[in-house]
Amino acid sequence: MMYWNGNKNSKGGEVMKRIGFIGLGVMGNSMAGHLLAAGHPLFVYTRTKEKAESLLERGAVWVDTPGELTKLVDVIITMIGYPTDVEEVYLGENGILANGEANLVAIDMTTSSPSLAKKIYDAAKVKGISILDAPVSGGDIGAQTAKLSIMVGGDEQTFVSMKPLFECMGTQVVYQGLAGSGQHTKMANQIALAGAMIGVCEAIVYAEKAGLDPAVVLKSISSGAAGSWAMSNLASRMLAGDFAPGFYIKHYIKDMTIALAEAEKMGILTPGLRTVKQMYEALAKSGRENDGTQALYTYWDRS
């Protein structure tokens, strides 16, 4: 294995942190790339090494396990799939907390469970490891352009020290509160997105059934009160039949499941979210779980 073994790089006189990045999927690859471009020595691990090739060609260093990664870096960032994956990477015997030492900072940018974020934070604190939960919004486009919205929970002092790293990946970086707050904020985001997605799809279907050109209709309504991120960024993909994933249906179902469970704990009724989740689950059962969320538009092909 090749390890970076020099002194910490500096850029403009600033000491650059050694970053470990776990998870190089649709969004993680771009996010890690921005950190590398900013001058940070980058060490990477993902289950499928081929996904790391473009970063390795640019100077990133491959590491075989999350546990090994903890020995080489100042900060670990994770961007993985499901809460079960997060639990394994952080709390497993070959994971971050079992192998990490005091003063390590770990940032989970996966959309995961608020209660799991708090559990990891508490376990890490015993070892002197700092944890932030920092899920993101903005999809593949936001990741590629470093314009993600990043919502952060954990100790504020840790957030302040890590903010320059977040600003390499996003433009809206907001501290939300104590551990789990970032994940709760992301749940609010996903609830709002559910309403926006079904609204965009129903508007397009209505326009089509009325004999209108939906692309022309969108020119009128996208800049008015009905406008939304989903309309501006995903409606054109729907009309073009482009359902490639910027954000997988299967991952959105995961997010909605978490949000519904948290809402139930708080005694909140979320009928809109429940309806949209059922629609996405129907699409997943039909084989579209690896499509992007804009494939909700195809639900009307089945009705």
Beta pairing class for 42-45 and 61-62: parallel
Q: What integer pLDDT is reported at residue 11 of this predicted model?
A: 45
Q: Please identify which of the residues 118, 186, 250, 254 carries the catalytic annotation.
A: 186
Per-residue pLDDT for 4 more than 90?
A: no
Q: What integer pLDDT is reported at residue 77 of this predicted model?
A: 98
Show the domains of the chain with their CATH numbers. Answer: 10-179 (3.40.50.720), 185-301 (1.10.1040.10)
**Sole residue written with tokens 């650059």:** 16
249 contact partners, CB below 8 Å, separation of at least 6: 280, 283, 284, 288, 289, 290, 291, 292, 293, 295
What would the pLDDT profile of 224-254 be if each residue is shown by its tens digit?
999 999 999 999 999 999 999 988 999 999 9
What would the pLDDT profile of 57-94 be if each residue is shown by its tens digit?
999 999 999 999 999 999 999 999 899 999 999 999 88
**Sole residue written with tokens 């939906």:** 214
CB-CB contact of 29 with 51 (8 Å): yes
More confident residue, 137 or 302: 137
Residue 118 designated active-site: no
SS3 per-residue string spanning the chain: CCCCCCCCCEECCEECCCEEEECCCCCHHHHHHHHHHCCCCEEEECCCHHHHHHHHHCCCEECCCHHHHHCCCCEEEECCCCHHHHHHHHHCCCCHHHHCCCCCEEEECCCCCHHHHHHHHHHHHHHCCEEEECCEECHHHHHHHCCEEEEEEECHHHHHHHHHHHHHHEEEEEEEECCCHHHHHHHHHHHHHHHHHHHHHHHHHHHHHCCCCHHHHHHHHCCCCCCCHHHHHHHHHHHHCCCCCCCEHHHHHHHHHHHHHHHHHCCCCCHHHHHHHHHHHHHHHHHHCCCEHHHHHHHHHCC
Residues 236-254: b if buried by 16+ CB within 10 A, e if exposed: ebbbeeebebbbbbbbbbb
pTM of the model: 0.90
What would the pLDDT profile of 24-36 be if each residue is shown by its tens digit?
998 999 999 999 9
What is the C-alpha to C-alpha distance for residues 268 and 279, in angstroms, rounded to an integer? 21
What is the C-alpha to C-alpha distance for residues 118 and 147, in angstroms, rounded to an integer? 27
What is the C-alpha to C-alpha distance for residues 239 and 27, in angstroms, rounded to an integer? 23
Per-residue pLDDT band for 301 (boundaries 50, 70, 90) equals: confident
